């Protein structure tokens, strides 16, 4: 029989300290208080189709020439979507709402903006505000500006401002309507 009574030679005490673990990457969203800015731009050309309705900021202008687009072609809503997605790195409007999706044909872009805002909220962000500049000669925005701002603000859940700018005769700008948007978002 063996005379070691089953005792194994004790393992030498390890002097090497346990490796220090790297600080894990934060999960579940951005750090609270993080502020980001995002920029969005959209343009749609005027349509020859007399049945297309011009929609801007959720307001319909039945007397105006409509814009070409898969959805309702609301450039203000689309620029706002890209601004908030850009600020948060959550993609862009084409990824979220592809113009090949038959379900989005003629879609109400305010609803798309609300869905994008919900996506931000789920990711831990809230929109502080969005400022838009729409470039067009007609129709006149001033009589409907408050309504457009109210519509967009309700969809986003934060203040959205709209400013109108004429093309000033610059070649190429009068063939459609453009919108630039800048958004500020904050991590909750
Ligand atoms: Zn668009």
* pLDDT score of 30 more than 90: no
Identify whether 13 is part of a domain.
Answer: no
Using the mean position of ligand 1's atoms as its centre, give its distance from the Cα of residue 30 in Å: 28
* Residue 47 CB-half CA count within 13 A: 18
Strands (E), the chain: 35-45, 53-56, 59-65, 125-135, 160-165, 176-187
Q: What is the pLDDT of residue 2?
A: 45
Domain hosting 181: range is: 35-187
> Does residue 6 lie in a domain region?
no
Residue 1 Cα to ligand 1 midpoint, Å, equals: 87
Cα of 157 to ligand 1 centre, how many Å? 21
Q: Is the pLDDT of residue 143 over 50?
A: yes
Nearest CA-CA partner of 82 in 42, 111, 119, 43: 42
For 11, how many CA atoms within 13 A lie in the half-sphere containing its CB?
A: 3
Helices (H), 54-164: 75-88, 93-96, 109-122, 145-156
Q: Is residue 84 part of a domain?
A: yes
Is 85 domain-assigned? yes
In three-state secondary structure terms, 162 is: strand
- Ligand 1 centre to CA of 7 (Å) is 78
Q: Which residues contact 51 (CB under 8 A, 6 or more apart)?
A: 66
Mean pLDDT of the 59-77 span: 96
CA 82 / ligand 1 centre spacing (Å): 10
Among the ranges 3-17, 28-42, 72-86, 93-107, which has the highest mean pLDDT value? 72-86
Q: What is the mean pLDDT of residues 35-50?
A: 96
Q: How confident is the model at residue 157 (pLDDT cuts 50, 70, 90)?
A: very high
pLDDT at 144 over 80: yes
Q: Examine the pLDDT at 151 and tell me if it is beyond 80.
A: yes
What is the count of structural domains for the chain? 1
What mean pLDDT comes out for the span 141-147? Answer: 96
Tell me, what CATH number does 103's domain have? Answer: 3.30.1330.50
Cα 5 to middle of ligand 1, angstroms: 82
pLDDT number for residue 22: 56
25: pLDDT strictly greater than 50: no
In a domain, 156, yes or no: yes
> What is the 69 CA–ligand 1 centroid distance (Å)?
7
Q: Give the pLDDT score at 172.
A: 84
In angstroms, what is the span from residue 10 Cα to ligand 1's centroid? 73
Tell me, in angstroms, the distance from the centre of ligand 1 to residue 45's CA: 10
pLDDT on residue 171? 81
On whether residue 71 sits in a domain, the answer given is yes
In a domain, 109, yes or no: yes
Q: Running DSSP on this structure, what letter comes out for residue 102?
A: G
Q: Are 130 and 158 in contact (CB under 8 A)?
A: yes
Report pLDDT for 96. 94
pLDDT at 154 over 90: yes
Distance 108 CA to ligand 1 centre (A): 12
- Whole-angstrom distance, CA of residue 19 vs CA of residue 31: 27
Ligand 1 mean position, distance from CA 86 (Å): 15
Integer-rounded Cα radius of gyration of the chain: 27
What is the number of other CB atoms lying within 10 angstroms of the CB of residue 86?
A: 22
Q: How far, in Å, is the centroid of ligand 1 from the Cα of 44?
A: 6
Q: Is residue 29 part of a domain?
A: no
């Amino acid at each position: 029989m063996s005379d070691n009574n089953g005792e194994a030679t004790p393992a030498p005490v390890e002097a090497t300290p346990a490796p220090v673990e790297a600080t894990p990457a934060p999960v579940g969203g951005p750090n609270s208080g993080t502020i980001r800015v995002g920029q969005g731009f959209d343009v749609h050309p005027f349509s020859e189709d007399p049945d297309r309705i011009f929609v801007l900021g959720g307001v319909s202008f039945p007397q105006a020439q409509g814009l070409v687009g898969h959805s309702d072609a609301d450039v203000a809503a689309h620029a706002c979507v890209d601004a908030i997605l850009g600020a948060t790195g959550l993609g862009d409007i084409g990824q979220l709402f592809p113009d090949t999706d038959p379900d989005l044909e003629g879609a109400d872009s305010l609803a798309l903006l609300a869905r994008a805002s919900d996506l931000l909220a789920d990711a831990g962000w809230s929109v502080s505000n969005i400022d838009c500049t729409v470039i067009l000669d007609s129709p006149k925005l001033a009589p409907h500006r408050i309504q457009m701002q109210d519509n967009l603000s309700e969809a986003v859940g934060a203040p959205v401002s709209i400013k109108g700018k004429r093309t000033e005769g610059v070649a190429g700008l009068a063939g459609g309507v453009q919108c630039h948007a800048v958004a500020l978002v904050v991590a909750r």
